[in-house]
Structure 1
Amino acid sequence: MTDAAPLRPQNVSAALPDPAEFGAMLCSRICHDLISPVGAIGNGVELLQELDRGATEGAELQLIGHSAQMASASLQFLRIAFGAASPGDVIGMSAVQRTARLWFSFQRPELLWVDAGGETTRSCARLLFNFLQIAASSLPRGGEVSVVATRDSAGESLLEVTAAGPVVSPSPEAGAWLAGRATETPAGPRDAHYLAAAAHARAAGTVISLHKDETCLRLTADMPPGV
């Protein structure tokens, strides 16, 4: 048997995709692998509830069930927000809305989004979900997050997310990060959705518009056809 050639660093790096897309692929893989076991925990709790229907449900079982539901909602949401999205790959709008509503059921703000049918691209859904994270994290005392997501006959999509509440406090560096500019204050893990939104917008060939005042934050983007 012939010995295999050693894998040198240049051989490996040549096979790697763009760093941002590689990160998205890793996120997709992690979420995919975790969704099934987390879902199984939730199914197990439901089975225990069915088997002991006459008994009073204990606090322990309630905590496990609630935590499993919250983890599943987060994984499904983050899989779209940070996961890989091939150009032109489509997803049903009803599935997008269902995932967003499930995630918002564990957040402080309320989600206002008129039901809409049809399809959107995964790239649009990915940017939209990062907008939703920015909006939700900007409302520490709760409020309302409203969504407008339309797609015309030419395939161009308009994304608009508005956060309104008693306190609207996005990161002070939000404008710079969304524009892809470096700042003196480095972004941390809690700011990942700002950087992801900027990267996704750049990959789609669009820019993000940000408007903010004391009671409102609005994010918009026009997504060109084919992304």
Structure 2
Amino acid sequence: MTNTSATDLAALLCSRLCHDLLSPVGAFANGLELLATERDPAMRENCMALLEQSATISTNKLKFFRLAFGAAGGFGDRVPAEEARDLIVALAADKGRIETEWAVADPTLAKPVVKLLLNFAQIAADALVRGGTLAVGAERRAGNCEIVVRASGPKIAFDPILGAALDGTLGPGELSSRTAAAHMIHLLAREHGGGLQHMASGDALVLGAVLPEGEGLIG
């Protein structure tokens, strides 16, 4: 198991967030530069569309990161389930060619559950390199909260090192900005007395978590 300080983990997560935001923010800057010099009405309209798209993507990413990695101030101990659903739908739309299915009946979710759902969704969406379906579900069963995210499509790309991060078995030097989020939710599940599971094949990736009911979907 890798041994990393909280400061190092925070730095790696920040690196990941900056990397993910660089593209839409860069596109926004390019759009502003073009708008400042362009005089053709049709081209200016295209610039405005680019700015609007980049602003929407950047805003959605920031909202996603706030709940997936941050303290999510303003929500209290619980988060509306529709907030998590909308962020996952936006994530899938940004990736393109991914359909989402939502199977969570409870109106609110505990923050640990939301963090697990969002991080699972990001890992699963990244695995759908040729598009497919992203199914998200959570329910209470036998005194626990069970969380399942399934990615299914024509090709699944899941690096075993991410599996090691979810298992908490990363070796020395294997914790990076790419594996930091998976390692973080491993620590989160362990902190709350739960555990994570994963199973990958050529056309499906299943990510699961079990948390004690006290950290689950009690609304």
> Is 1:202 aligned to 2:185, yes or no?
no
Q: What number of residue pairs does the alignment pair up?
A: 185
The aligned counterpart of 2:175 is 187
User: Any stretches of 5+ residues in structure 1 without a counterpart?
Assistant: 1-17, 42-54
Whose radius of gyration is greater, 1 or 2? 1
Q: Distance in 1 between matches of 2:53 and 2:99?
A: 19
Q: Distance in 2 between matches of 1:171 and 1:160?
A: 19
Q: Distance in 2 between matches of 1:215 and 1:115?
A: 24
**How far off its partner does 1:136 sit?**
0.7
Structure ranking higher in strand proportion:
2
The aligned counterpart of 1:223 is 211
User: Which amino acid is 1:116 matched to?
Assistant: A
- SS of 1:169's equivalent in the other structure is coil
**How far off its partner does 1:160 sit?**
0.2
The aligned counterpart of 1:135 is 124
- SS of 2:179's equivalent in the other structure is helix
TM-score by length of 2: 0.72
Give identity over the alignment, percent: 30
> Is 1:104 aligned to 2:89, yes or no?
no
Query: Would the aligned equivalents of 1:91 and 1:121 in 2 still touch at CA under 8 Å?
Result: yes
Change (3 A) 1:130 1:60: same
- SS of 1:72's equivalent in the other structure is helix
Query: Would the aligned equivalents of 2:68 and 2:118 in 1 still touch at CA under 8 Å?
Result: yes
Query: Would the aligned equivalents of 2:104 and 2:139 in 1 still touch at CA under 8 Å?
Result: no
Q: Distance in 2 between matches of 1:148 and 1:195?
A: 21
**How far off its partner does 1:215 sit?**
0.8
Q: Which runs of 4+ in 1 moved over 4 A?
A: none
> Is 1:79 aligned to 2:79, yes or no?
no
CA RMSD of aligned residues (A): 3.2
- SS of 1:60's equivalent in the other structure is helix
CA displacement 1:112-152 (0-9 Å, x = unmatched): 11463421101100011110011011111111110111246
Query: Would the aligned equivalents of 1:94 and 1:115 in 2 still touch at CA under 8 Å?
Result: no
Higher relative contact order (CA 8 A, sep 6+): 2
TM-score by length of 1: 0.70
- SS of 1:173's equivalent in the other structure is helix
The aligned counterpart of 1:69 is 56
**How far off its partner does 1:164 sit?**
0.6
**How far off its partner does 1:84 sit?**
2.4
The aligned counterpart of 1:10 is none
